[in-house]
Amino acid sequence: MRLPRTEAFRSTAFRIAGLYSVLFVASLIGLLSVIYWKSTTEFEGDLREKIGAETAALLAIHQREGLDALVRVIAQRDRHDYFYGLGRNTGERLINDLGGAPLTQGWYQVEVAQKPDDEKADTTTVKVLGTPLADAAILAVGASDEGVEDLQEIILYTSSWVVGLTAILALTGGLMIYRSSMRRVDTIARSSRDIMIGDLTLRLPLKGTGDELDRLSGSINQMLGRIEELMATMKQVTSDIAHDLRTPLGRLRQKLELAREGEATIEGCQVAFEQAISETDGILQTFDALLRIGKIDAGGAAQRFADVDLSGLVARVSESYRAVIEDNSQTITTEIEPGIKVSGDSELLTQMLVNLIENAIRHSSGAQITLRLIRNADTVYLTVADNGSGVPPEELSKILRPFYRHEQSRSSDGSGLGLALVDAIARLHRAPLQLSNNCPGLKISLIFPRFLKGEHGPVRSP
């Protein structure tokens, strides 16, 4: 996509390129101005020293030999380097290389013909130092600052070329940077439009330079991957809801029809109604679990995080289920290291552990259940394992999906949301969930970072 000319002028890349070009040229102009000023000042200083030295030499002659001797000496001087003026206070000029300019005391400038005897000759600017003499006269010594003017012209001429070429190069470089940036932006825009059409498998291209656009594209690609995963999960959940709720809703309708048509007694109707209510409760529990998963994924529960005594929580839950496990002809072994604390939601952590234990009870009849809570450095490991029939290796990555139930557990009670809820709670607590075969059986482990209370950036406990 090529931006219209007016939009190109408003683009950030164009403005930045233009701004840096202007700043670069302005900096160069400032540098050349300093060079111009410094060179001119130094040259004028040398000229003043030269005039001052000549004046001092002539004053010494005047002091030793008088005014007449000074006139003879000046007349014999080479007039190529200096311009002289010597006159009385009455206006009489004894030496006059400065034309009609008055002879005054101090520094001043006059315009003088380069050839004093030729009135049509080109003029030059002469810097003059006037010094009064003891015998009612004044001596003026000057020198042409033509060298200063030549130097200024050279600096100005060279600077104009340097500034012009630099401005062209800066604008060309800025335009190249702008066009390069816009090409990448256009590529990202085209890819984004293709993705918006519905192809979530596409990703933004990476140049591999690791610059800000690459980092931005990488972050967007990660976001797209997460969106694609969520969309796939949503489609799968929609399909699973339609599949798994069809059966209980069908049974509910069948029982209500039997109650309407076949049950003649009050007792029979009550039984049918109780069964219908039971089916309805199961459906409501399924939707309640879905709502809880959605709420947890939204992250709102993280605001209730506090320090949780995980050791005490695990001990209480495991003890409350011991009788249920023994009644089911199973055994439970616990290994709980005391004093372990994590940052989290106590209610959700309890629900997570309950789901893990109930999953082990339901799918490993007559088996040994092992519950371990240990820590290693700054990491806490919570493991629930059994030695039951387990899960086929190819299905381990699927059992965390909502409503997913492998073939061996289709006949058992449940909606297939228990481990999905565990996974949501684990993600909320930033505790990676690991599934593995216990050979035989299934082992589910959660790895908690041992954090104290804090929002999105907890401080590690010592």
Are 257 and 336 members of one domain? no
Are 216 and 191 members of one domain? no
Are 290 and 304 members of one domain? no
- Decide if 9 is inside a domain: yes
| pLDDT reported for residue 169 | 81
What φ, ψ does residue 204 adopt, rounded to 5°?
-70, 140
Q: Provide the domain count of the chain.
A: 3
| pLDDT reported for residue 159 | 83
- Decide if 8 is inside a domain: yes
Q: Which range has the worst mean pLDDT, 260-264, 306-310, 313-317?
A: 260-264
Where residue 237 sits, what CATH number does that domain have?
A: 1.10.287
Model confidence over 112-137: pLDDT tens digits? 876 655 555 577 888 899 889 887 78
Averaged over 169-194, what is the pLDDT?
77
Are 96 and 142 members of one domain? yes
- Decide if 205 is inside a domain: no
- Decide if 388 is inside a domain: yes
Both tokens assigned to 394: 């190819």
* Sign, CA torsion 409/411/417/421: negative
Are 2 and 78 members of one domain? yes
Q: With H, G, I as helix, E, B as strand and everything else as coil, classify residue 137.
A: strand
Are 259 and 193 members of one domain? no
Distance CA 236, CA 233 (A): 5
Are 350 and 429 members of one domain? yes
Among residues 266, 295, 324, the one where a domain terminates is 295
pLDDT at 35 over 80: yes
Confidence of residue 264 (pLDDT cuts 50, 70, 90): low
Where residue 421 sits, what CATH number does that domain have?
A: 3.30.565.10
Query: Between the CA of residue 139 and those of 90, 112, 124, 163, what are the distances in Å?
Result: 14, 17, 20, 45
Residue 417 exposure: Cα atoms within 13 Å on the Cβ side: 20
Amino acid identity for residue 375 in this structure: R
- Decide if 305 is inside a domain: yes
| pLDDT reported for residue 461 | 32
- Decide if 455 is inside a domain: no
DSSP string, 68-97: HHHHHHHHHS-TTT-EEEEEETTS-EEEES
Among residues 151, 166, 199, the one where a domain terminates is 199
Both tokens assigned to 290: 């879905």
What φ, ψ does residue 404 adopt, rounded to 5°?
-80, 130
Are 112 and 217 members of one domain? no
Are 313 and 290 members of one domain? no
Q: Which range has the worst mean pLDDT, 55-64, 264-273, 350-359?
A: 264-273
pTM, 2 dp: 0.48
- Decide if 454 is inside a domain: no
- Decide if 457 is inside a domain: no
Are 163 and 245 members of one domain? no
Averaged over 151-158, what is the pLDDT?
82
Q: Domain residues for 245?
A: 212-295
The mean pLDDT value of the chain amounts to: 78
